[in-house]
Amino acid sequence: MKPHLPRSTFGLAALASLALAIATILLGGIVYFVSHEALEQQLDHRIAAETSSLKTVAEQDGIAALAIAIARREDGHNTNGLGYMLFAGSGTKVAGKFDAALPRPGWHELLPFHDAREGANVAQALATPLQGGHVLVVAADRTPIDEIDRSILMIFSAAFGAMLLFGMICAWGLGFVVRQRLGRIHATAEAIIDGDLSRRVDRDDVPNEFDRLAETLNRMLDRIGSLLDNLQQVTTDIAHDLRTPLARQKQILETALETDLDADGYREAIRRAADSSEEILDIFTAMLRISEVETYRVRESFRPVDLSEVAERVADAFRASAEATGHEIALDADAEAMIAGDRHLLAQMCANLVENALRHTPSGTRIAIRVQRQADAVRLVVADTGPGIPPAERTRVLQRFVRLERSRSTPGHGLGLSLATAIARAHFATMELSDAAPGLRIVLRFGG
């Protein structure tokens, strides 16, 4: 069966605390081993050095001098925790107060001996054969090493317990805080599910992960709210704007049915009905295009595009129709104004802005297209010398189906600027409408 890791905040925090506690135990084991070995080596070094010194005395001055040296060390209390024994060839101890049996030559890590104060104990010892069958034993009590070992074990055991307990307390506290914060998000979500679309996740205005999450969720909710408002507005606007062409189409067809017409008359009625249907299809095509752009899936196909080249082609395409209506189109574009985008959408955006200026300005108006390459951005400016748009209406005209009163008699459905705005947002651009004194200036800024 596949093991399952805990997924709750408390479980994850407790698991992390347990991992730290286990790491503490492992660290304690390493410290214990290294310290123990270091003390063992230090003790071996002391025993070996003392043995070498006494062996030199025996070789130079004889066994009797060695016995005197041992007695002198023991009587002078200058043994540094070492014990001595000197055995004759017969196995009889001839010097030394250390109380232990004759060991075999070599190192002994756990040599049993008897201490007058502590009783039975063990020592670390080195038995060295000498001339004449004598054996010199130098030993050191292991009690200090054992005490240090016990201290290390006790310290790390206490640290393990304290860390485990502290970790569990912190895990509970962390779980409590996270549950509180997630509870607020959950309450907001429940309120939105119940229909309160204005609710937003509370923030503490403190830079932390929860506030960043709350900000992201609120931005998402704002975006969803904006889309829902647009959907509601679009539904109302579509019903309103389709009423006229549908009513006209119905009137044309009813008139044709109720009136005796010749073949040319019926053909004309069908043509007019087809024109009305074409107008309806244009509305739906523009709406679908705006919806497609607003999904931002078009960003997946972005490539480097020279905005100056796009603007130049749009200006050339509209120059003839502009001259026919008495308008003038002027282009001023910096070379190689590169941005990441979709060439066709950018051309559609530029065309919508120029066409909007041509439709809603009188003959004799000058339309200026300017592409500027800046240090960290590229700017596209479309300005005209027409009547302009009142400041109070400049935000509203970017919405779908919005048309000013003076534009009711001109062709269109109020979707051109909406599509241009959607394309600009898809390209991470900002759009600003301002007064050109006279006329209207539209400035789009594309990040570098």
303-332: per-residue pLDDT in tens? Answer: 999 999 999 999 999 999 999 999 999 999
Q: What's at 248, amino acid-wise?
A: R
Contacts of 159 (CB under 8 A, 6+ apart): 24, 28
Please report the pLDDT score of residue 278 as a whole number.
79
Please report the pLDDT score of residue 157 as a whole number.
81
Q: Are 249 and 276 in contact (CB under 8 A)?
A: yes
Running DSSP on this structure, what letter comes out for residue 432?
Answer: E
Residue 125 tokens, joined: 């010892």
Burial readout 102-126 (b: 16 or more C-beta within 10 A, e: otherwise): ebeeeebeebebeeeeeeebbbbbb
**Residue 7: strand, helix, or coil:** coil
Between 213 and 284, name the one with better pLDDT: 213
Q: Are 386 and 360 in contact (CB under 8 A)?
A: yes
Q: Whole-prediction pTM value?
A: 0.49
pLDDT at 186 over 80: yes
pLDDT tens for residues 112-124?
A: 888 877 788 888 8
Nearest one of 390, 372, 391, 388 to 380, comparing CA atoms: 372
Please report the pLDDT score of residue 381 as a whole number.
95
Q: What is the mean pLDDT of residues 177-184?
A: 81
CATH number of 299-447: 3.30.565.10
Contacts of 385 (CB under 8 A, 6+ apart): 361, 365, 366, 436, 438, 439
pLDDT at 48 over 80: yes
Residue ranges of the chain that CATH labels 1.10.287.130: 209-294
Q: What is the mean pLDDT of residues 1-29?
A: 70
Please report the pLDDT score of residue 310 as a whole number.
94
pLDDT tens for residues 287-305?
A: 777 777 877 788 888 999 9
Residue ranges of the chain that CATH labels 3.30.565.10: 299-447
Range ranked top by mean pLDDT from 196-205, 271-280, 418-427: 418-427
Q: Identify the architecture of domain 9-149 in CATH.
A: 2-Layer Sandwich (3.30)
Residue ranges of the chain that CATH labels 3.30.450: 9-149
Alpha carbons 235 and 229: distance in angstroms, whole number: 10
pLDDT tens for residues 101-157?
A: 989 999 988 888 888 777 888 888 999 999 888 999 999 888 787 888 888 888 878
Per-residue 3-state assignment (H helix, E strand, C coil) for 203-230: CCCCCCHHHHHHHHHHHHHHHHHHHHHH
Q: Are 283 and 242 in contact (CB under 8 A)?
A: yes
Computed over every residue of the chain, the mean pLDDT equals 83
Q: Are 204 and 210 in contact (CB under 8 A)?
A: yes
Q: Identify the architecture of domain 209-294 in CATH.
A: Orthogonal Bundle (1.10)
DSSP run (H or E) holding 112: strand 106-115
Q: Give φ, ψ of 369 to 5 degrees.
A: -110, 125
Alpha carbons 55 and 63: distance in angstroms, whole number: 9
Residue 116 tokens, joined: 């007058």
DSSP run (H or E) holding 114: strand 106-115
Alpha carbons 149 and 31: distance in angstroms, whole number: 10
pLDDT at 77 over 80: no
